[in-house]
Structure 1
């Protein structure tokens, strides 16, 4: 079963994105993509959504 993980951050800089990538890949997640939400008045993104996937043999109940 393919599982997805979405991590949202409003601190969009190289250090924070690096931390998110290193933390979640160390837990067995594989990077799927990074999506940025832009601000109208700025050239820098206001938020980032980092998505990960991983295969799990049994469904996880939440």
Structure 2
């Protein structure tokens, strides 16, 4: 029994955008696993975010894409 992974990339790094991504994909059956930010050298604000989700590989019906 392994895990399936889903990575959602966004260049709109605001609380509203990240919240919308998390709500959308958890409603589809994915489990929120974490977030990674990509930061430019010239700015303290993240340029991109990668939101990570998982689901058990043994699910009879995989989450919707």
**Structure 2-normalised TM-score?**
0.83
User: Where does the alignment leave 5 or more consecutive residues of structure 2 unmatched?
Assistant: none
Aligned positions of 1:1-62 closer than 5 A = 1-57=2-58
What is the number of equivalent residue pairs in this alignment?
59
1:27-47 Cα deviation digits (max 9, x unpaired): 110111100000111110000
Q: CA RMSD in A?
A: 1.4
**Structure 1-normalised TM-score?**
0.86
